[in-house]
Amino acid sequence: MADSIISARAIWKSFGELSVLKGIDLEVAEKELVFVIGPSGSGKSTLLRCLNRLEEPDSGSIRMDGTEILEKKVDINAVRRRIGMVFQSFNLYPHMSALGNVTLALRHVLGLPRDAAEARALAALERVGLADRVSHMPGQLSGGQQQRVAIARAIAMEPRVVLFDEPTSALDPELVGSVLQVMRDLRESGMTMVVVSHEMAFARAAADRVVFMADGEKLEEGPPASIFGNPRHERTQAFIRQIERH
């Protein structure tokens, strides 16, 4: 793919005796929303974490904008500046306001002066619908609002791609919609995203491509209509049948 932002090839990863990724390939094109689904324990989060080297693959190649990021000499902080990540647990600093949380990396990682960092942070908080909550501490915000602060923190860095690792799994059901809406808006604005999530309705509606993983392998991938409507692999069929029962 000529315009791939991420091109991961033959990624292998074990934890001790447990082989979690078995030669996975993943391409992510500019402005694409790639959705990774599969049974619990199939290696989805591990794959995502390998993409920014929160986990170190045992072997394989990951190119970002054409540059290999698995080489020892690569400045991993420079790579991470270009890859935002949103976690299931929002990982906000509890003693800092929403604005403080979003501003922190802009000042200390990007080295922006306070005024410029705050202006950028305010714009990001506005984008996620929190213009009226910038001075609130995380404890004064709902889970959905806290996750939106975490998304603002990621996008304020103006990354090339944002990875979402089960961003709504820790939320009460009534708070999920606001976070998914922000993710939908980001997609509309052309943000490149890789999402691991169990929100299948969202995958159907918003994904450009769905990747189905099982036991550390990619069994099939394609547009949501074909993965959900006409899955070819027997394990994908079983998975889709199971989620449709719930």
Ligand X SMILES: Nc1ncnc2c1ncn2[C@@H]1O[C@H](COP(=O)(O)OP(=O)(O)OP(=O)(O)O)[C@@H](O)[C@H]1O
Q: Interface with ligand X by CB under 6 A: which residues? A: 15, 18, 20, 38, 40-46
- Between residues 13 and 127, which has the closer beta carbon with respect to ligand X? 13
CB of 244 to ligand X, least distance (A): 18
Smallest CA-to-CA distance from 147 within 102, 198, 80 is with 102
CB of 145 to ligand X, least distance (A): 24
- Between residues 156 and 193, which has the closer beta carbon with respect to ligand X? 193
CB of 180 to ligand X, least distance (A): 18
Strand 193-196 versus strand 33-37 pairing type: parallel
Helices 114-127 + 98-108 axis angle, to 10 = 130
Name the residue with tokens 């990951």. Answer: 62
- Between residues 43 and 167, which has the closer beta carbon with respect to ligand X? 43
CB of 89 to ligand X, least distance (A): 13
- Between residues 124 and 176, which has the closer beta carbon with respect to ligand X? 176
Q: Is there a contact between 100 and 125 (Cβ–Cβ < 8 Å)? A: no
H or E segment and range at residue 1: none
- Between residues 36 and 121, which has the closer beta carbon with respect to ligand X? 36
CB of 107 to ligand X, least distance (A): 31
Distance of CA 203 to the CA centre of its chain: 13
26: left (phi over 0), alpha (psi -120 to 50) or beta: beta
Q: Is there a contact between 219 and 225 (Cβ–Cβ < 8 Å)? A: no
